[in-house]
Amino acid sequence: MGEWRFAVNGEAVEVEAPGMRRLLDILREDLGLTGTKEGCGEGECGACTVLVDGAPVDSCLVPVCQVEGARIATVEGLATTSSEGPVLDRLQEAFLEMGGAQCGICTPGMLMAARSYLDSGGGPDEVAIREAIAGNLCRCTGYTKIVEAIAVAAGGPG
């Protein structure tokens, strides 16, 4: 067992866990942040994508000992809250409007990969967007509307 300190969605957390416990399990089971999903457990599907210091990672492949002191962002941190409930960010809004989410199970990971792309200055170019989400499998959409939604969020034409 070890004690690990890091930040999740801007809040400092401290967890006691074996160092090799998967970040995915820390998030879902220890911190109750079930927005991050498990699809394969071996880094193929990207459903568990979170950002560690801004970079997208498969949280099923990251042991908690590797995130000591890191800033972690999950899907729960994208929307802001208001008195009338959550306020979606531009990316989430674009997914909602364009039809980028169907069954929704790949959506949290997809959003985080896209968030990272946008935060690193990515634009509405289709090829670049497809490259940015190539590690995130979606079985519902054919990716067309996901790519469109990210392009819209990047300032492209709706």
Residues that bind another protein (CB under 8 A): 28, 33-42, 44-45, 47, 74-76, 78-79, 86, 88, 92, 95-99, 101-108, 111, 126, 129-131, 133-147
C-beta separation of 116 from 51 below 8 A: yes
Dist. CA 154–CA 117, nearest whole Å: 9
**42 vs 69, beta carbon nearer another protein:** 42
Residue matched to tokens 């079985």: 139
Question: At its nearest, how many Å lie between another protein and the CB of residue 59?
Answer: 13
**3 vs 84, beta carbon nearer another protein:** 84
Question: At its nearest, how many Å lie between another protein and the CB of residue 106?
Answer: 5
Buried b (16+ CB within 10 A) or exposed e, 11-28: eebebebeeebbbbbbbb
Residue 13 half-sphere exposure toward CB, CA atoms < 13 A: 21
**54 vs 104, beta carbon nearer another protein:** 104
**68 vs 104, beta carbon nearer another protein:** 104
In the chain, count of helices (H) and strands (E)? Answer: 5, 7
Question: At its nearest, how many Å lie between another protein and the CB of residue 55?
Answer: 19
Question: At its nearest, how many Å lie between another protein and the CB of residue 30?
Answer: 13
β-pairing, 71-73 vs 80-82, is: unpaired
Question: At its nearest, how many Å lie between another protein and the CB of residue 130?
Answer: 4
**68 vs 119, beta carbon nearer another protein:** 119
